[in-house]
Amino acid sequence: MTYPDPPTPLPPALITTIPTDTSLWRIHGATRGAAELNPTTRPRVRVGGRFDSLDGSYAYLYIGDSPGAAVAETLCRNLPVDQSPRLIPRAKMAGRVLSELRTTRTVRVVDLTGAGASRINAGAWLSKCDPSGYLQTRRWVAAILVANPDVDGVQYRPRHDENTLAWMLADDPAAHSHPAVTAVGGVIALDSADGHYLLGAILTAHNAALGP
């Protein structure tokens, strides 16, 4: 499917906020800090995440409003919906952890939920397309950040869970951690007994399970 380029100029976006001291959740590699930004440039389709930087102009991190949101966006985002059960290889859990963070200040984000995407002449595909559209979603978020230099990132709903919220927060690629969030809770290793128990409960709602 072909997706449009962002218009120039971009129409005014809907801005919303995450209040100070909001609990957030993130799945990440155990060698990274919970608030650590990823500066990796992602110019290739099907490699990386939906709103990664195409050219390295910003570093990024993805967070959700609950463990369920983090699982939906990180582990279930690209699961095929025409299979039952939907299996996630246990090997994908190796070296990954679930961390809790909290906002240290009010976080301003462009809202892509509801009418937010259509407001800027995009559509639901911006947060719902499969990885074949990621070059375009990255172009759009780059344009959004340029047009709204006072925001911290974007708010959207995970592709397969409309009941939760997710965010991509961006900052200077030279920064190590995002200044608006800090780690607060214990870290749960996804390849541990506790991690498997937590994932089992969340994945059931997606008709998914850990595979061999």
Strand blocks (E) in 59-133: 59-64, 86-88, 96-103, 107-111
DSSP state of 135: H
Proportion of the chain above pLDDT 70, given as a percent? 100
Mean pLDDT, the chain, rounded, equals: 95
The more confident residue out of 46 and 132 is 132
Task: Give the residue extent of every domain in the chain.
Answer: 15-210
| pLDDT bucket at 79, cuts 50 / 70 / 90 | confident
- Tell me the per-residue pLDDT of 122-137, one tens digit each, with 9 for 90 and over: 999 999 999 999 999 9
Q: Residue 21: pLDDT above 90?
A: yes
More confident residue, 78 or 23: 23
Residue 82: what pLDDT? 74
Residue 48: both structure tokens together: 């990386």
Tens digits of residue pLDDT in 1-10: 899 999 999 9
Query: Using one digit for the tens of pLDDT, what is the confidence trace for 49-59?
Result: 999 999 999 99
Instruction: Decide: residue 191, CB within 10 A, 0-12 exposed, 13-18 middle, 19+ buried.
Output: middle
Torsion of CA 175, 135, 127, 46, to 10 degrees: -90
Residue 84 confidence (pLDDT) above 80? no
pLDDT exceeds 80 at position 83: no
pLDDT digits (tens, 9 = 90+) for 140-186: 999 999 999 999 999 999 998 999 999 999 999 999 999 999 999 78
Q: What is the pLDDT of residue 183?
A: 97
